[in-house]
């Protein structure tokens, strides 16, 4: 089985690691365009063009499914990607895990990029899935870029600033950008002092990986745990900053 993932940068690592946990034999194609980051401030048309470029490069490797491992791309480009690639290639988008977070009943904070925070898309998800839970949208300027570049000082500053804007008593934090899942432990540590003792973090990697495996056209096809990395369609390797995150480990380890 071969599954492709696309993102602006290394935010796709979390979903890729989740896939390897579920299917250790899966062949992975990681298609991104880090030179074009950040995508958040770009127009929907620009995001769609960039996403299509990454998706087409991945599709050339004939995967069984494509994960759009990027919230911004899912907001602006998912319809265009599906129109071009489906039904031959199932396309799975990434949606913030608002529904399971709200189902716990306590106050919810959604950490997302400034472009996503307050957007009609996110407000629609809150309206449809938050129920009666109190929801606070928390913009996290600079956090995705800091994670991408492994800038420890910038990560610490961005997380601290967002934590300060997260209301005391928050019961659940929704990680509304795939990059944030790579620093989930730091986010938890920053929010926990003012949160409920039962604070939970909700990422999208695990449910997206499970959905991709459900959508593949031939689930019996076996893989050999290969890893293909593409930057703007050109063969590449995982950057050193990616290797600093634990989610990269199962991608580079040989299959047992």
User: What CA–CA distance (Å, rounded) separates 90 from 191?
Assistant: 37
Told to judge if 54 belongs to the known catalytic residues of this protein, a careful annotator would answer no
pLDDT value for 154: 98
Averaged pLDDT score across all residues of the chain: 94
Catalytic residue among 6, 29, 37, 70: 70
CA separation (Å) from 77 to 30, 94, 120, 134, 159?
A: 18, 11, 15, 29, 28
pLDDT beyond 90 at 163: yes
Catalytic residue among 81, 177, 191, 209: 177
Q: What domains does the chain contain, in order, with CATH numbers?
A: 2-94+205-252 (3.40.50.1860), 98-202 (3.40.50.1860)
| DSSP assignment letter at 95 | -
Model pTM score: 0.93
Tens-digit pLDDT profile for residues 22-73: 999 999 999 999 999 888 888 889 999 999 999 999 999 999 999 999 999 9
User: What percentage of residues in the chain have a pLDDT greater than 70?
Assistant: 99
pLDDT beyond 60 at 256: no
pLDDT value for 105: 87
CB 33 within 8 A of CB 232: yes
Tens-digit pLDDT profile for residues 208-228: 999 999 999 888 889 999 999
């Amino acid at each position: 089985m071969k599954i492709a993932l696309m993102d602006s940068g290394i935010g796709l690592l979390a979903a890729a690691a989740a896939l390897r946990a579920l299917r250790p034999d899966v062949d992975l194609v990681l298609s991104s365009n880090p030179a074009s980051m950040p995508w958040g401030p770009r127009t929907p048309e620009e995001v769609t063009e960039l996403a299509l470029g990454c998706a087409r490069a991945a599709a050339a490797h004939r995967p069984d499914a494509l994960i759009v491992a990027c919230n911004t791309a899912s907001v602006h480009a998912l319809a265009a990607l599906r129109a071009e690639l489906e039904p031959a290639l199932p396309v799975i988008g990434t949606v913030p895990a608002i529904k399971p977070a709200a189902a716990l009943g306590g106050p919810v904070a959604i950490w997302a990029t400034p472009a996503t925070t307050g957007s009609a898309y996110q407000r629609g998800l809150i309206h449809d899935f938050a129920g009666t839970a109190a929801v606070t949208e928390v913009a996290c300027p600079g956090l995705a870029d800091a994670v991408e570049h492994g800038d420890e000082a910038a990560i610490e500053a961005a997380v601290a600033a967002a934590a300060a804007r997260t209301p005391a008593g928050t019961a659940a934090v929704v990680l509304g950008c795939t990059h944030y899942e790579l620093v989930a432990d730091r986010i938890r540590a920053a929010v926990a002092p003012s949160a409920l003792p039962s604070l939970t973090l909700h990422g999208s990697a695990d449910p997206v990986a499970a959905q991709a495996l459900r959508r593949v056209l031939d689930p019996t096809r076996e893989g050999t745990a290969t890893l293909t990395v593409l930057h703007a369609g050109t063969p590449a390797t995982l950057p050193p900053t990616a290797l600093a995150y634990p989610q990269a480990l199962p991608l580079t380890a040989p299959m047992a």
